[in-house]
Amino acid sequence: MANYRGTLFFSFAGPPADGWTEKVDFVAPDNSSAQTIFQQIVTARRYTLSQSIMLSMFKLATVAPKLSAKTTKYFLAQTKIFLSPDVQGGLGFLSVVDTPNAAVLVQVQYNGYSRVGNYQVRGIPDTWWDGGALTPAAQAVNFYFQFLQKIPMQLFHVNRTSGALTIYPMQCSHLQRISSRRTGRPFGQLRGRRRKKVA
Amino acid sequence: MVMDYARSCYSANFIFRTGDPAIVTAWSFADPGARLFPYWHSCDSKNWQDHEYQAGDIGEQDQVQLWLPGTPLSRGRPTYNCIGIEDWWTGGIPIGMLAPPVDVNGVPLCCTAERPCVCAGGNLPDTLTLTFTDGCFATVGVTVTLTRNPGSCQWTGSAELNFLVGLFTATLSFAGPQASACSISFTVVGSAGDSSGYAVADDSSQCSPLAITFTDVDPGLHVPCTYFDIVIST
């Protein structure tokens, strides 16, 4: 089994135009199988997106993690890129026109509450704010992470004591909170103005 | 051809063969509509990758050397010709492999030439001769030599033909070898740099001899002593 890293490129026509990427690590026996799994990831992700946001480009790479270092860096071996038609990407499936300024923070975990990774899932509709967990978006995100758990998605974790990098399969996920941002501001900035630049 | 997605272009060191010194290589933006590189490869952009390097790595090696505007290549467009050996793109050029022939810019011919000719036979010569067999008196007997880069599907040549203003018809015969079942298109561009006003009919169903008829359907557009650029593509 080899490690693969899939990169999904999201684009929003605007205004204002916006875009971001997400990465998913997983294992597969060969390139062909990895491509099939990647396709399934893309499809599952589209169900969490509003129809104004597009999954337009994709990149799949084989990675060789550097297990002995105090870092999550990896050796990148091979890459293949795809456009939307190649892996049937495209606009989101949720029939909501939206801007990508809301995100849900998801913790992905191995073995209970240890080895936690955080994901900001962008592109979810604002209707989640009002409708809560019963909205299609919330259910789709839940399904998406259940699907990633089934693959399973790989979590890169550096042991702070030994410094060794270990890769864990994702075993559970928790939706923590929804956050929003002003255009151009990062997620996670709670409120207020941008920080002043320090000369 | 699209090798990777990147926001900005830059130059960086690349290694294309294990043991070779790194070569400064520049990223350029692809033309709109460019096709994706169809195979797995090691020549991706590692600028945004959380990546480390190890001995024997093929492809981009280290940090950005210089940020560049990414102007599309001016010395020809990459085509599919260099992808014939997939393993080279992931494992590098084999040790001992001689460098391929290059053009005056140092670019391998296989990278700048068009897709190899795939019409029947596939072994058409690099030089073809077109002979005018009909038309105005000044055109009869004129021959035009068309050449191509090795492996290219396109032969080009030009001729100065002393056509008179007015309706005319000329027929060109294709003097190349038999190459049945190939499809050939023919382009004529007048001295003004436009091809409007010329109706070109080609008999692509029988490639040898190829009979091409073009008619000046709007002679008011054209002047005597028209200079033609002639392109034949398979």
The DSSP letter of residue A93 is: S
A104 or B58, which is more confident: A104
Residues in chain A closer than 8 A to B3 (CB atoms): 81
Residues facing residue B227 across a β-bridge: B160
> Residue B37 and residue A61: Cβ atoms within 8 Å?
no
Residue B122 clears pLDDT 50, i.e. is over it: no
- Cβ atoms of residues A149 and A171 within 8 Å: yes
Residues of A with CB under 8 A from a CB of B: 9, 31, 57, 59, 61, 66, 69, 71-83, 86
Inter-axis angle of helices A136-150 and A31-46, nearest 10? 160
Residue B70 falls in which region: left (phi positive, over 0), alpha (psi -120 to 50) or beta: left
Q: How far does B171 lie from chain A, in Å, by closest CA?
A: 44
- Cβ atoms of residues A118 and A105 within 8 Å: yes
Residue A59 clears pLDDT 70, i.e. is over it: yes
Q: What is the pLDDT of residue B104?
A: 66
List all residues 6 or more positions away from A193 whose beta carbon is below 8 Å from its beta carbon. Answer: none
Q: Count Cβ atoms below 10 Å from residue B66 Cβ, excluding itself.
A: 10
B74 touches chain A (CB under 8 A): no
Q: What is the pLDDT of residue B7?
A: 86
Residue B101 clears pLDDT 80, i.e. is over it: no
The stretch B25-30 carries a mean pLDDT of 88
**What is the domain partition of chain B in residue ranges?**
1-113, 127-233
Binned at pLDDT 50, 70 and 90, residue A26 comes out as very high
Q: How far does A194 lie from chain B, in Å, by closest CA?
A: 24
> Which position has the token pair 């000046």?
B216
A16 upstream amide cis, omega within 30 of 0: yes
pLDDT digits (tens, 9 = 90+) for A111-134: 766 667 888 888 888 888 777 777
Q: Name the residue among B36, B41, B52 with its Cβ closest to that of A75.
A: B52
Q: What is the pLDDT of residue B21?
A: 81
User: Looking at A49-63, B80-94, B106-120, B166-180, which range is the least confident one?
Assistant: B166-180
Percent of chain B surpassing pLDDT 70: 32
How far is residue A98's CA from residue A123's CA, in Å, rounded to a whole number?
8
CA A97, A188, B7, A198 torsion-angle sign: positive
List all residues 6 or more positions away from B134 whose beta carbon is below 8 Å from its beta carbon. Answer: B140, B169, B170, B171
Q: Name the residue among B40, B50, B54 with its Cβ closest to that of A79.
A: B40
> Residue B42 and residue A83: Cβ atoms within 8 Å?
no
Percent of chain A surpassing pLDDT 70: 84
How far is residue B197's CA from residue B216's CA, in Å, rounded to a whole number?
6
Nearest to A14 by CA among A183, A188, A187: A183
The DSSP letter of residue B81 is: G
CATH of B127-233, one of 2.60.40, 3.40.30, 1.10.287, 2.60.220: 2.60.220
* Percent helix, strand and coil across chain B, each to the nearest 5: 5, 30, 60
A159 or B149, which is more confident: A159
> Residue A78 and residue B40: Cβ atoms within 8 Å?
yes
Edge-first strand order for the sheet with A114-122 is A114-122, A102-110, A172-180
Instruction: Quote ipTM for the complex.
Output: 0.78
B228 burial via Cβ count (<10 Å: 0-12, 13-18, 19+): buried
